[in-house]
Amino acid sequence: MACRICSGRLHRFADFGRQPISDAFVLPGDTGEEFSFDLAVGVCEDCTMVQLLNEVPRERMFHDGYPYLSSGSAVMREHFRSLADRLLATELAGPDPFVVELGCNDGTMLATIAAAGVRHLGVDPSGGVADLAAARGVRVRKDFFEAAVAADILAFEGPADVVYAANTLCHIPYLDSIMKGVATLLRPGGVFVFEDPYLGDILERASFDQIYDEHFYLFSATSVRETARRHGFELVDVERLPVHGGEVRYTLAARGARTPSPAVAELLAAEEAAALADPRTLRAFADRVAGIRDDLVDLLTGLRARGATVHGYGATAKSATVLNYCGIGPDLVPHICDSTPAKQGRLAPGSRIPVRGPEAFASPYPDYALLFAWNHAEEIMAKETAFRDAGGTWILYVPDVHLVRG
Ligand code: SAH
Ligand code: TYD
Ligand code: ZN
């Protein structure tokens, strides 16, 4: 297996077995076999990029029925509003600015840009969510962004001051084409800003559920800098973000165009000190994850034996890895509640656990709730205080299996 970035040799360090498409929620009457693939992860011995060993065809994941909505969390809505405000005040403060967002989804970020009357274009291949963006006044192009699409946008709209992507770049195996496209599309002096789950946080918290079909890459500053360098970009800023269980926002600019901030050298040094890309570090992570799986299955089996009820909370894409790797089905977790309309009334992929709306959580409350949306724990626990008041207990599995009394 060769690295998708540099063709270097990949060292496999973790394997989660056969997995379904994480966001392919199944209709209850659908008895057909689900698509599945081997979810295994490796690290490149040359450029240090951590990546999946198998690629799922993009059209199988991102299509008109893609259910994920960026607007599903109040914390994330605020996160994207403040990012948009910051871009408006800085990179987009010149005359007639233009910003392109890759993976704009339902337009949560670009809605603020559109409301400010600033020229923008969202690019997203998932038609259903792109329609929601258009309905709120965001200009959107339904396409997979790649080099040819970038050239087309440049021809029709002119160069961009900013290309932005959140939780999208790590979804795209063909980064080569993306980097070429962004290099074409940016004006001289423009910036490419993107934020994705951070390898450092994933290793520290053992958050193995960040590994699933859509998360093809687990970025670090070291691997991003090398990828950028190969395409004439320089990593000029990094910012750690608390959202989604720990992310980094990377800023790239044409080589020599901007002076890198001290944060870049600091994060690179911290990654070196933590030996993030060392196969031994990564194998230790895989060992910890196997322990979490055993602890979680033991806990759930024990609770079932005692007659306690356990429901899932948040039918996240991440939960597909947990459920299918641990072999958890409706016998241990009879349903999961989730606020996303397109997931409700369907079955979670692979595990076939029914998904219900959030109102089902209270009728009646289970004894325990397994929090698959642990990255939104604060927001969810604040909203569900009545569960705690009714004597309910949360189950979390990162950084280890533990109980939280609301
Ligand atoms: N940026 C949003 C959505 C992340 S979900 C947020 O952070 O909440 C990832 C999105 O990327 C999906 O909406 C998916 O349709 C889109 N996507 C996948 N491949 C893409 C590509 N090649 N170009 C643009 N968008 C893509
Ligand atoms: P998220 O963790 O953002 O992403 P992913 O699917 O990529 O792992 O998904 C959060 C899920 O939890 C999403 O399906 C919406 C749901 N959710 C609720 O049901 N209630 C809530 O209060 C919040 C914040 C999310
Ligand atoms: Zn490589």
Q: What is the pLDDT of residue 406?
A: 62
Q: Decide if pLDDT at 58 tops 80.
A: yes
Q: Is the dihedral of CA 362, 371, 221, 269 positive or negative?
A: positive
- Element (DSSP H or E) covering residue 371: strand 368-371
Residue 212 Cα to ligand 1 middle (Å): 15
Residue 297 Cα to ligand 1 middle (Å): 33
Q: What is the pLDDT of residue 287?
A: 98
Q: What is the pLDDT of residue 350?
A: 98
Q: How distant, in Å, are the alpha carbons of 275, 280, 291 from that of 284?
A: 12, 6, 11
- pLDDT tier, 208 (very low <50, low <70, confident <90, very high otherwise): very high
Residue 69 Cα to ligand 2 middle (Å): 8
How far apart are alpha carbons 381 and 313 in whole angstroms?
A: 11
Burial (Cβ within 10 Å: 0-12, 13-18, ≥19) of residue 166: buried
- Closest atom of ligand 1 to 68 CA is 5
Quickly list DSSP for 70-90. GGG-HHHHHHHHHHHHHHHHT
User: What mean pLDDT, rounded, does the chain reach?
Assistant: 98
Residues surrounding ion ligand 3 at CB below 5 Å: 3, 5-6, 8, 44, 46-47
Question: The sheet that has 310-313: what strands, in order across it?
Answer: 355-356, 336-337, 310-313, 368-371, 393-396, 402-404
- Closest atom of ligand 2 to 315 CA is 14
How far apart are alpha carbons 236 and 180 in whole angstroms?
A: 18
β partners of residue 20: 36
Residues in contact with ligand 2 by the CB-under-6-Å rule are 68, 72-73, 314-318, 338-340, 358, 373, 375-376, 379-380, 383
Ligand 2: residue whose CA is nearest its atom 4: 316
How far apart are alpha carbons 241 and 64 in whole angstroms?
A: 30
How far apart are alpha carbons 287 and 105 in whole angstroms?
A: 35
Query: What is the per-residue pLDDT across 157-194, written as a single tens digit (0 to 9) for each?
Result: 999 999 999 999 999 999 999 999 999 999 999 999 99
